[in-house]
Structure 1
């Protein structure tokens, strides 16, 4: 688990990058805020009590000084008015002449239940008068702190000391009584002056506690709001940077990660982008349902995330496409890693009662050779991925510059093809088909031709796949179907007889189009008899979706249209499927026909197809017949029909009409000669 700092809204957030999906999780604080707040409250209350006690002590000091000062003045005035000198005063007090009066004065001073007032001599530790009175209060006691202060010349002050009479600890205020050799001492017990303030202390503590609780509550509320806000921001960031279905990082996250890695490349960072696309996922999704498809994607994401020790980042781009970032650029090691990942993905997967083996195609782009930013790397990897699919899927391909050129041409052809179709620049050429038994023309195959003003003649093998991938194949096929039906009727009108016309059907028409209704409409609009229209299917269409193809073929057969399998022998048709389809004709691929004179295997394949077709009561036609020797070999083997340069190449409708007129004229001349 690695730590990464992110910035969001000005706050620095520490995130942890989990090893399973790369999802970032905000790290919780080590100590909760509530603990600090409650601890702070306790410390604040203790501090408050300390402050209050200090204030009480200061107040008690002031009271003691004030009381002893006032009482000292009263005592000095009384003694001065009663006695002529200090010695007479001491004698009078000692003999009890004024003792009762002084006690009355002392009792008027409130010193609390445990406070005392004493009158002591300055020259000896002898108590002259004490209120409250105790036994032997006139006795002498050892010197105490007050005596030591007096001996130091300090005539008034406050201090805390323990009484030498009753042992109680008090706050004492003392002052010398004028010129008399007497010192007046007032002692306040702590429990008395604290008792007088206890309600103030309690009330103050309660008010402060309530205020502090309010502050704590407000702080916690604000903190809760901040945490909730941060959680919302984290959730928004998580949804913005992660895929909802799989939990993997998404394209936006990977964009930031790639840019970060590219910036580090100058410090030795290496970078490769792997573009994974699950093979035939649409078929799986359509067969098992979207819920099962989502589950499969989630499990594939888990498998990809599990290989993170081999890669840096795994992300889901969209649909069944995943991107993997690798911190390496060595082709050998990259190939080994990709092979390992593909093996992990292909491990059996149980879903909806089926055991599936999922494969993928991979395009590989390396920085900086194939791109200097995320966009160019992704484009290069996508181009390589397309080539991997063309190579048969379940494989990987490194990007090459030539691929980019092919993709650019593909895009250019796609744009130009759309314009050519809209401007009616596409042409239909026709190649005659001959009955080998009679030597007569029985029909023609319609072939699309496109002559581009800049690129020249573009072969159907190039622009038809472009049309299929762009969706143009559907409108082009509808236009072609209408064109050939009307052309066949025109040949009849011209006196060429009932010539059949054959045209290729695209797999897209079976998957997305409404072929049966389109054929019905074209037959009706042109007036062509259904049996004169022949639709050619490839073997790849037959194995793609057998039930759907069978239903469409049955609908076409119900119209009376004839069906044939084009390029038979190059695909994977099964005998059982041929029986179910009940097509009318098999067409032998020209690669076998051209090699049959020099390659015994090609000759054997041609013979096998002819025998197979006849066993299913089908006609067999051979294409690519370019010489008399090939024609003779086909006739010997029992082939029914043929087409090729030996008879004629594909020509325009007007040239085809000339060809037919020449054939008719030659036939008529031969009949006249006979």
Structure 2
């Protein structure tokens, strides 16, 4: 790149060029004249003498004098030609060099002019940015303010005269940030600059402005240490506002406004990280019992109203240093700080008593109760994940043990839960690998002693643990949702066996299959069972579906619809465990039932000559009047059998008649008369 020349240098170059040109021409003329003079002088002196020596004849000599003049003219002309030509060539080259130098000077002058204009533009632009840009621009040292731009003056309410010879940090920076600011500038002196740090300023009217700063140390003769700082800041109040909103969305529940799980876990971790001797706190994990009933009957909007109501109640009941949070769904948690177990128990029992009342909306009333699991730090866990997990285990145990109660976590609870988890896993493995078999318990006609039908009962033969009673895995399957898959397998196997009996000539043999309340209230899972039934090539009049009176039926209307669809196929419906629930007569009225099965608890009371015997007689009379077919369960003694026979009970089953047996042991029973052979096992 060419060197830049000043304006004065360009002028001097032009002047020197003008001076140089005449001197060049003058010197060349002197040289030519001198050469011509020397040649002429030598010609005059030497030409005649040479001719005299060469030509002694005077006449020839005189004749040659004329030619000598013409020869002189020729020689001098050629000499002048070559001399002038060479000088012209030299002058032309010199002129080109001079013109080239001049052109370079002109270009340099143009570049210089452009650069000067650019500098003026940059200066004006910088001044415009400083004066008009919506940023804070401070020039300062640690003690005094050297300058601040108009925007900073407008936002802060201070002019440079207000801060001149004053400690600007004491005026503009909040007290809690002043030591931090001094440390920051001390660090900038070491590192020369610092980027993206936040320090707020206080305006003249007391308003707080959050600012993101970038500071650089500059050299100056004004500062006694030879340096000053240029700090440029951006107002981030709006950004901080959005950050606060985002943080609230991230750490607080949108429905109730309570802290969410993430915030609650953060509070737990803060308590854990406190270096206090004897650090101790407790966590209560709360779940609303039967909250699903509100959602299912009134819709999720009403459910949200209830959760909001409950959140307000919990917020009113819990005060600092304790805190309450919504973990999700209908689950809440309370953090009790430095409270003893008895104190927490009293607080929770009082809380349950005040909240566990009837909640009314749109003329509908819902009874509210809570199941609570409690853990303590550090005895039940040393991190938030373990503590919440164990509190959750204790809460679900409280639900299984009757709901509406407080249960403190114990190691035994964890062990039981671990066993349940293991059994759930084994249950899934057993379903997938067909470790289950069907046993069949015969149902005898109490008049003739002949086998009229069988009840299909599932049995689990575990490859390592052996026989596992249904009382252990059926409730767990219902709780885990595995009951759907298990019942589909049971229905397929039972119908396959039903078809086999029909092929063997036992077409009139009825088969009873149990369906859980979960399947009956689940539209999707019921349709899968319905499809299995429809695809089975059996006589549907010989199929009985048993529903349990004590089953948790949350949507009666759906169950009625599903049972009617089964009845329309020709399938009969039996109400199992009749008399053990609170809705026996209502179920008889609402559900399309054909058969009622007396629970074995009634049958056992026959031997005791108690009031239950009178109840059984009246139930049998009522059943016949309503044209229900009656099956007695759990017949174990001859006395029970005789009482039921004389009471006109249609059929019965029990260990006196036959225990549940595999299919290969059942076939011989189909050909026998119980009364004839007095079969008993």
Q: Which TM-score band applies after superposition, normalised by the shorter structure?
A: 0.5 to 0.7
- Structure 1 residues 658 and 217: CA distance shift in structure 2, 3 A: closer
Give the Å deviation of 1:479: 1.9
1: distance between equivalents of 2:440 and 2:247? Answer: 61
Residue by residue over 1:85-137, the C-alpha shift from the partner in whole angstroms, topping out at 9 and shown as x without a partner, is: xxxxxxxxxxxxxxxxxxxxxxxxxxxxxxxxxxxxxxxxxxxxxxxxxxxxx
Q: C-alpha separation between the residues in 1 aligned to 2:657 and 2:611?
A: 26
Q: Do 1:542 and 1:549's aligned partners in 2 also have CA atoms closer than 8 Å?
A: no
Instruction: Select between 587-596 and 436-445 the one with higher mean Cα deviation.
Output: 587-596
Q: Name the residue aligned to 2:665.
A: 655
Match of residue 162, structure 2, among 40, 43, 59: 43
Per-residue CA shift, 1:388-423, capped at 9, x if unaligned? 212222222222222211211111111111111111
Which residue of structure 1 aligns with residue 406 of structure 2? 396
Partner of 2:347: 337
- Mapping 1:445-484, distance limit 5 Å: 445-484=455-494
Deviation string for 1:357-397 (max 9, x for gaps)?
A: 32221112222332222222212211221122122222222
2:597 maps to 587
Whole-Å Cα distance in 2 between the matches of residues 642 and 428 of structure 1?
20
Secondary structure of the residue aligned to 2:452 is strand
2:630 equivalent to 1:511 = no
Structure 2 counterpart of 1:270: 280
How far apart are the structure 2 equivalents of 1:217 and 1:270? Answer: 40
The CA deviation at 1:613 is: 2.3
Q: For 1:593-617, what per-residue CA distance to the aligned partner results, in whole angstroms no more than 9, with x for missing partners?
A: 2233126144344334323322321
**Secondary structure at the counterpart of residue 455 of structure 2:** strand
Alpha-carbon distance change, 358 to 223 in structure 1, aligned in 2, over 3 angstroms: farther
For residues 210 and 295 of structure 2, the distance between their equivalents in structure 1, rounded to whole angstroms, comes to 54
Q: Which of 542, 562, 581 is the equivalent residue of 1:532?
A: 542
- TM-score scaled to structure 2, two decimals? 0.64
Secondary structure of the residue aligned to 1:363 is: strand
> Structure 2 vs 1, CA of residues 217 and 477 (structure 1 numbering), >3 Å: closer, same or farther?
closer
1:488 to 492, 498, 501: 498
In 2, are the aligned partners of 1:34 and 1:220 still within 8 Å (CA)?
A: no
Aligned mates of 1:616, 1:475 — CA distance in 2: 36
Measure, in 2, the Cα distance between the counterparts of 1:293 and 1:585.
38
SS of residue in 2 equivalent to 1:292: helix
Offset at residue 465 of structure 1 (A): 2.2
CA contact (8 A) 2:211 2:236 kept: no
CA contact (8 A) 1:592 1:603 kept: yes
Judged with a 3 Å threshold, the aligned counterparts in structure 2 of structure 1 residues 370 and 607 are, in CA distance, closer, same or farther, namely: farther
Residue of structure 1 equivalent to 2:270? 260
Residue 96 of structure 2: aligned partner: none
Corresponding residue for residue 549 of structure 1: 559
Q: What does residue 250 of structure 1 align with?
A: 260
Query: Are the counterparts in 2 of residues 539 and 571 from structure 1 also a CA contact under 8 Å?
Result: yes
Q: Which residue in 2 is equivalent to 1:151?
A: none
Contact 1:450 1:457 in 2 (8 A): yes
Change (3 A) 1:597 1:665: closer
Aligned-partner SS, 1:544 = coil
What is residue 307 of structure 1 aligned with on the other side?
Answer: 317
Is 1:241 the equivalent of 2:251?
Answer: yes
CA distance 1:327–1:631, shift in 2 (3 Å): same
The 5 Å alignment of 1:65-84 reads none
Give the match's secondary structure for 1:597.
Answer: helix
Deviations 1:222-259 (A, max 9, x none): 87732223223322222222112211111111112112
Q: Distance in 2 between matches of 1:514 and 1:218?
A: 57
CA distance in structure 2 between the aligned counterparts of 1:415 and 1:517, rounded to whole angstroms: 26
How many angstroms does 1:446 deviate by? 0.3
SS of the residue corresponding to residue 506 of structure 2 reads coil
Q: Quick check: 2:357–2:369 contact (8 Å CA) kept in 1?
A: no
Q: Deviations over 1:167-210 (max 9, x none)?
A: xxxxxxxxxxxxxxxxxxxxxxxxxxxxxxxxxxxxxxxxxxxx
Q: Deviations over 1:338-358 (max 9, x none)?
A: 122113323443433434332
Deviation at 1:627, TM superposition (A): 1.8
Q: How far 1:622 moved relative to its partner?
A: 1.4
1:305-330 deviation digits (Å, cap 9, x = unpaired): 11113871101111110011112553
Asked if structure 1 preserves the Cα contact closer than 8 Å seen for 2:444 and 2:451, the reply is yes
Q: Secondary structure at the match of 2:236?
A: helix
Show the counterpart of 1:443: 453
Map of 1:646 onto structure 2? 656
Partner SS, residue 501 of structure 1? strand
Query: Which residue in 2 is equivalent to 1:366?
Result: 376
Inter-CA distance 311–474: structure 2 relative to 1 (3 Å threshold): farther
| Residues paired across the two proteins, number | 469
**Of 335, 338, 359, which residue of structure 2 is paired with 1:349?**
359
Q: How far 1:434 sits from its partner (Å)? A: 0.7
Classify the secondary structure of the residue corresponding to 1:446.
Answer: strand
Correspondences of 1:90-489 after superposition (within 5 Å): 225-264=235-274, 266-309=276-319, 312-328=322-338, 330-489=340-499
TM-superposed CA distance for 1:550, in Å, is 1.2
Q: In 2, are the aligned partners of 1:273 and 1:326 still within 8 Å (CA)? A: yes
**Contact preservation (8 Å) 1:596, 1:603:** yes
**8 Å Cα contact 2:449/2:673 also seen in 1:** no
State the distance in 1 between where 2:471 and 2:323 align: 39
Which range moves more in the overlay, 537-546 or 613-622? Answer: 537-546
Cα pair 2:521 2:554 within 8 Å, conserved = no
* CA contact 2:439–2:662 (8 Å) conserved in 1: yes
Gaps of 5+ in 1: 1-32, 48-215
In 1: Cα distance, 2:333 partner to 2:577 partner: 38
